[in-house]
Structure 1
Amino acid sequence: MSEITGLAFKARELDAGDELAGVRARFVLDDVVYLDGNSLGALPAAVPGRVDDVVRRQWGELRIRSWEESGWWTAPERIGDRIAPLVGAAAGQIVVGDSTSVNVFKALVGAVRMARLAGQERDEIVVDATTFPTDGYIAGSAARLTGCTLRAVTPAEVRGVLGDRTAAVLLNHVDYRTGRLHDLPGLTAAVHAAGAVVVWDLCHSAGALPVGLDAHGVDLAVGCTYKYLNGGPGSPAYLYVRHDVQDRFDSPLPGWNSHAEPFGMRPDYTPAAGASRGRVGTPDILSMLALEAALEVWDGVPVESVRAKSLALTDFFLECVAAYVPAGRVESLTPVAHEERGSQVALRCADAEAVMKRLIERGVVGDFRHPDVLRFGFTPLYVGFADVERAAAVLARTWGDGGGAG
């Protein structure tokens, strides 16, 4: 009991010294410990009012005039520039729109086409074998479409399979199951040394840690906005196209919105300049402007501070789990080393699905991944250290006093 009291006291001290503690007030929260921001971020308080204005005034009163008067037409690039600092990119390289899946397809096929511009017959796509299933499905489709062979390997094996046949490599910055952070700088350099083009999926890193797209020379990247960027369910994704490759990016999904003269309605296609060639059709304005409001929670918040708190939160959670949970009940799949850890902790345990249901019933929300993984995502903008201590204590109580989960 003294140890538990000690960790609860430590949590209070850590919260008292938390420079990001005030950001929590920018969200709509309750007394639930919400550790599922790696699936769906919490609601920023500014969003409901903004959506009401978009629906009632911009759409309801201004109607078609809002494409110009309310800035609807420029929203994909404007919001892209708002995301850019969060992933280490200069303005003019990110366009917002479509889903992550659609953007992965655009980026991967575009990457193969870029790789072949050098005149070499590159005919292999390398994909992360541990990737989120959809990325793998799309990589397979892209391979069939481009006449490539698909090669699935773990990120640790990528360097060993690169060669003069490699056209494109699709990798995840953070593993969605384990929370392992992969070596973006090193792998990007290795792909470039082989003469290939790299595409990074940032879904589990953007908004949780520094990415450094420009600094590390990443060619193309995609990401969702409904996790650590808190854009809301199904909020539009984004596509990053580095400045110096934009004129070579040939999207497999050209649309009137990405035409150099979108209102010219010409039968022949000429791509727009810059990242705008990543657009396709009419932007999804309602969800896009909700995302723009959500991104205001980042005003004055350095990504470096978010990363520091993320590591402190996950360290403290692992400390509390080790102290509270009966020995042998859980095994951490998340790396201990900070340079290999994202912003989640994955615990393997028997009856994981049932354990997570009990946690949720008791006010601690994480999620479950088949067959035996409990995932806990830590969003530093609104998760505190007292939340972490409470979550570990509730997890321990699911086994009672040494008995089974219940």
Structure 2
Amino acid sequence: MSEPTSARTARAQPDSGTPDPGTPAAADDLAARAAALDAADPLAAVRDRFVLDDAVYLDGNSLGALSAGVLPRLADVVTREWGELRIRSWDESGWWTAPERIGDRIAPLVGAAPGQIVVGDSTSVNVFKALVAAVRMAPADRTEILVDAATFPTDGYIAASAARLTGHTVRAVPAAGIAEAAGERTAVALVNHVDYRTGRLHDLPAVTAALHAAGALAVWDLCHSAGALPVGLDAAGVDLAVGCTYKYLNGGPGAPAYLYVRRELQPRFDSPLPGWNSHADPFGMAPDYAPADGAPRGRVGTPEILSLLALDAALDVWDGVAVADVRAKSLALTDFFLDCVAALLPPGRAESVTPAAHQERGSQVSLRCAGAGEVMRELTARGIVGDYRRPDVLRFGFTPLYTRYADALRAVRVLADVLGAGASGADPAGLGDGASALPRAQAAAPVDVPSSSVRREAVPQESVPQEAVPRESESLDASEGTA
């Protein structure tokens, strides 16, 4: 990665001569702004490192785009490393050390020094490892696990399972109240850096410091922040962290996740899944377990070589890219998108549930919109790919490495047409007159964690309602994407 360049992607502020919203002049003004911002974008050339088509792809917060270097790398892995070298590739091609080597490539993207990240397993498995290990590090009289009440469900499910296995209890509180909720009984808190539904960014340094002041450990879920904004794990003193690699890191569908364990805690990291890969002498085949030193202690079983090496190739797009530049463009893109929404969408048809303040915003914009599922399906049919969360949230993820300002404008123009703001006044999505009657923000239903030991506290009114749990007869809608 390189040093940050100047903030040329800063939001262009409207002046007193800005045209009225909804007028042709306003649309022309937005087009001119998009062209100027794209022309000045220091990351513009990075887009050429990806395999893209004519669609506007705003779903990188579910699955990142394919980078051009992955195809030739995988072809070589399959034909030469596997096809010719076969078993020799564990040594000669570096397969055995890939989890730590690739972890060290991710480290600067999340503000970590080398030797603290291992890549492998899924995010869910790594959450389990991190939580149970944290509980085992905590004093015996600390029997409480705090979780973000609006967390992605798998985190809540696993926290409840970890609590049952360790004799602890789980208390779900709003993310904004985690710091205040931690007390003398708290062993660990599991917090999402960015809310997957609203795009709200939580204050990782402040929450971590407050948890430490209370004597608790901090485990952070970085799925919606790594690769989109500076994380600063080492600087904040984060204890453990997990994250996926198929979103803003563009590692591919099902790409392995990663586990960060702060260096000072590694000798105390007692994995609940002590597989042969994390043994100090994995080929000694000893009957008793002796953990390896350092990051390899987080390994379990045989690495997922094809997925690992696809991720390795995908990380090449970060050569010469500074995370600070990515963050600057992310904020400028989402600012511009929100300006387009305000200028082009018909009043009352959609409202942002993503914080306006930069320090509280990740790299997505979520709009509450009646009939969100049908709207997103229509958008996708017209070449605008985002996703939605039940019952009424459209999600648009902005990956600064390949998303242009012109893409943001085009997406809102098509959304305006779908919602009936076109010249014909039609209602292409079939939402009817009721589409304009948007519900007020409601309290989020808590994640349904299957444990009677879970205690919950009030969730703030600005939270977005949880989607209904699908029935067995319901199939996955592709426009819902992944987390």
TM-score relative to the length of structure 2: 0.83
**Whole-angstrom distance in 1 between the partners of 2:288 and 2:203:** 42
Aligned to 1:51: 74
The code of the aligned residue for 1:31 comes to: D
Determine which of 263, 274, 285 is the counterpart of 2:294. Answer: 274
Query: In 2, Cα distance between the equivalents of 1:372 and 1:398?
Result: 15
Secondary structure of 2:388's counterpart equals: strand
Query: 1:405: how far off?
Result: 4.5
For structure 1, list consecutive stretches of 5 or more residues without a partner in the other structure: none
Structure 2 unpaired stretches of 5+: 1-23, 430-483
Select 1:115's aligned residue among 126, 134, 138: 138
Question: Aligned partners of 2:240, 2:262: CA distance in 1, in Å?
Answer: 6
What residue in structure 2 maps to residue 152 of structure 1? 172
Alignment deviations for residues 276-310 of structure 1 (CA, whole Å, 9 cap, x no partner)? 10000000000000000000000000000000000
Specify which of 396, 420, 424 is matched with residue 400 of structure 1.
420
Describe the SS at the equivalent of 1:404.
coil
CA contact (8 A) 2:346 2:420 kept: no
Cα deviations by residue, 1:108-131 (Å, 9 ceiling, x for unpaired): 000101113xxx411110001100
Question: Which residue, 200, 220, 225 being the options, matches 1:205?
Answer: 225
Q: Could you tell me how far apart the structure 2 residues matched to 1:156 and 1:87 are?
A: 22
**Which one of 19, 39, 44 corresponds to residue 62 of structure 2?**
39
**Which of residues 310, 313, 331 in structure 1 aligns to 2:333?**
313
CA distance in 2, matches of 1:6, 1:22: 25
> Which of 359, 373, 384 is the aligned partner of 2:393?
373
Give the SS at the match of 1:206: coil
Is 1:222 aligned with 2:245? no
Aligned identity (percent) is: 74
1:242 Cα deviation from its structure 2 partner: 0.5
Find the aligned partners of 1:405 and 1:193 in 2 and give their Cα distance. Answer: 55
Which residue among 72, 75, 87 is the counterpart of 2:95?
72
Cα deviation, 1:189-216, whole Å, max 9, x if unaligned, reads 1111111111000000000000000000
Is residue 2:34 matched to residue 1:8? no
Q: CA RMSD in A?
A: 0.7
Structure 1 distance, partners of 2:275, 2:296, is: 11
Q: How does 1:4-403 map to 2 (within 5 A)?
A: 4-116=27-139, 120-401=140-421, 402-403=425-426
Amino acid of the structure 1 residue aligned with 2:212: H
Q: Is the 8 A contact 2:365 2:395 kept in 1?
A: yes
Deviation (angstroms), 1:164 = 1.1
Q: Which one-letter code corresponds to 1:64 in the other structure?
A: I
Q: Report the Cα distance in structure 1 between the residues aligned to 2:72 and 2:411, rounded to whole angstroms.
A: 32
Aligned to 2:246, the other structure's residue is in SS state coil
* Deviation, structure 1 residue 403: 4.6
Residues 354 and 361 in structure 2, CA contact (< 8 A), matched pair in contact too? yes
Does the 8 Å contact 2:148/2:174 carry over to 1?
yes
Letter in structure 2 aligned against 1:61? E
More moved, 150-159 vs 196-205? 150-159
SS in 1 for 2:190: strand
- Looking at structure 1, the residues matched to 402 and 228 of structure 2 have their Cα atoms a distance apart, in angstroms, of 12
What is the CA deviation profile of residues 82-129 of structure 1, one whole-angstrom value per residue up to 9, with x for unaligned ones?
00000000000000000000000000000101113xxx4111100011
CA distance in 1, matches of 2:199, 2:418: 23
Count of matched residue pairs: 403
Distance in 2 of aligned mates of 1:2 and 1:77: 54
The AA in structure 1 aligned to 2:121 is D
Partner-residue secondary structure (3-state), 2:127: helix
Greater per-residue helix proportion: 1
How many angstroms apart in 1 are the aligned matches of 2:297 and 2:156? 24
CA contact (8 A) 2:198 2:365 kept: yes
User: What SS is found at the alignment partner of 1:79?
Assistant: helix
| Deviations 1:339-391 (CA, angstroms, capped at 9, x unpaired) | 00000000001111111011101110000100000000000000000001100
SS of 2:234's partner is: coil
- 3-state secondary structure, aligned to 2:84: helix
Work out the CA distance in 2 between the residues paired with 1:390 and 1:404.
19
1:187 Cα shift?
A: 0.5
Cα shift readout 1:323-349 (whole Å, capped 9, x = no counterpart): 000011001000000000000000001
Shift in Å, 1:404 = 3.3
SS of residue in 2 equivalent to 1:387: helix
